[in-house]
Each structure stands twice: as structure tokens, then as C-alpha cells.
Amino acid sequence: MAMLELKDVEVYYGMIQAIKGISFEVNEGEVIALIGANGAGKTTTLHTITGLLSPKAGSIFFDGQDITKTPAHKIVSLGMAHVPEGRRVFSQMTVYQNLKMGAYTRSDKSEIDAALEMVYKRFPRLEERKNQLAGTLSGGEQQMLAMGRALMSHPKIILMDEPSMGLSPILVNEIFDIIRSVNEAGTTVLLVEQNAKKALDIADRAYVLETGKIVTSGDAKELMNDDAIKKAYLGE
């Protein structure tokens, strides 16, 4: 059974239909990439999964539970973390306070401390800057903080929205290495990216979204060699 499953989901912004009935699934342990151009509906899809938007039709299941109508603030304690587009760290709070916010739904202090230690180990730079205001971090550091904050909830699945946005090529590589190692440590990943090459590189499977519809899907390696995909998304 799929860990996360969307069935015929439709989302509207007022009168405009942004998602026109999409279905896909994510299995435990996978890295799934959702690729597509600007405005294809990738971010909308993630927002709908975590309840920041509600679908007009269709249903969403997570771990066998119907979460279609679950409010956003109840999603994280089910084991789903969302690293939003543009990081959205709390800029007026310190790095440490941001990470503590990531563990908001957890109450066991020793578990939180262990999670904090794990995050600092994965992102040593966050520990160096733990008392710095998040707004003063560089883009790459903010991305690390957003990921660390999400990991603080010890999620089963992590949804990442454009982690490479606005970062230098070296940092993009670093971030993707981290995503891979997070996945290897047992967390399922649903990755939304405009950088299709990078995304297909680390993904097991991928779905291609075009103006609110899934137009192609399949094995990431196969998609990388697909002529149409190459032309449209890989710039070859």
C-alpha cells in the first residue's frame, strides 16, 4: 500500500482551476520527484497535501488515513513534514528557536534534544549559528535550517518545495546530497523541483506536471532518457 496517495484531486483558486484532477502515489522509502514548469501546479499540490489549501474534489490518503480534510496544523504530528518554497524560516527568531518550533508537536524533552543533536550533526553550520537570527543567514543556510526544522518532527515523509531555488550550483549539490542521505536514513521524500535534471538524478520515480495535470510519469532514469522530457525540461 502506498504511503501517500492522491486520487483525482482538484484545486481551485477562486474560479480558476489550478489542479485538474491529479492522482499519484508515493511508496515508503522512495524519492519521488514532481517536476514541471513554473505555474504547473507543483506548489499547489504540496500545499493541498499538507492542508494549507483544500481540494474541491478528490481525496488524499496518508498511511491509510484519509487526510483530505485534515487541517494543516494536524498534519505534522501524523509524520509528514513540509519544507515550503522560499524556506519560510522565522526570520526574527534564532536558529535554535526555529529548530525548536520544528519540534512543536513533540513533548518528550530527551527526544527533542536527540533530534536537535541529529540535526546539528547533519548541518554543522546550524550549530555554529544557533544563536543567530534566522533572517541573517545566507540562502543556503536558510534552506538547511528549513530542512533541519522539518526533520525536528521526525517525519516519515518529507515534502520539499524547490530546495534548489536561488542557490549556487555548489550549494545545490550539497542540498541534494543531504536530501539523498535523509532518504537513506529512512525518510520518504516527495520533491518538487524546477531543476528537473537534479531532481531526476536522485529520484526513484517522477511525475511530470503540466498546467494542473500529470502528463507523464515513470522511472526517473527512463524519463531522463525520454526525448520529449529532454527537450522540454532538461534543455537538451
Q: Which residues bind another protein (CB under 8 A)?
A: 50-52, 71-77, 81-82, 84, 86, 88-93, 97, 100-102, 104-105, 135, 149, 153, 166
**Minimum distance between the CB of residue 99 and another protein, rounded to whole angstroms?**
11
The nearest distance, CB 234 to another protein, in angstroms, is 26
Integer Cα distance of 3 and 189 in angstroms: 11
Nearer to another protein, 143 or 232 (CB): 143
74 or 231: CB nearest another protein: 74
C-alpha distances out from residue 151 to 92, 136, 179, Å: 20, 21, 11
Q: What's 72's DSSP letter?
A: G
User: Sheet holding 213-219: strands in order across?
Assistant: 80-83, 157-161, 188-193, 31-36, 205-210, 213-219
Closer Cβ to another protein, 75 or 175, answer by number:
75
User: How near is the Cβ of 224 to another protein at its closest, in Å?
Assistant: 30
Task: Return the number of the residue (80 or 214) whose C-beta is nearest another protein.
Answer: 80
Residue 175 or residue 223: which is nearer to another protein going by CB? Answer: 175
User: Taking the complex as a whole, how short is the minimal distance between the CB of residue 111 and another protein, in angstroms?
Assistant: 15
User: What span, in angstroms and rounded, lies between the C-alpha atoms of 22 and 217?
Assistant: 12
Tell me whether residue 95 or residue 220 sits nearer to another protein (CB atom).
Answer: 95
Q: How far is the CB of 101 from another protein (least distance, A)?
A: 5
- Within 8 A by CB and 6+ apart from 68, the residues are 54, 55, 58, 59, 60
Distance of closest approach, residue 156 Cβ to another protein, in angstroms: 15
Strand order in the sheet with 16-26: 16-26, 4-13, 57-62, 65-66
Q: Any residues with CB less than 8 A from the CB of 12 and at least 6 apart, and which?
A: 18, 56
- CA-nearest of 186, 200, 202, 207 to 234 is 200
Nearest distance from residue 73's CB to another protein, in Å?
Answer: 5
165 backbone dihedrals φ, ψ, rounded to 5°? -60, 125
User: 23 vs 97, which CB is nearer to another protein?
Assistant: 97
Cell 522565522 belongs to: 90
Beta-strand runs (E) in 57-123 = 57-62, 65-66, 80-83
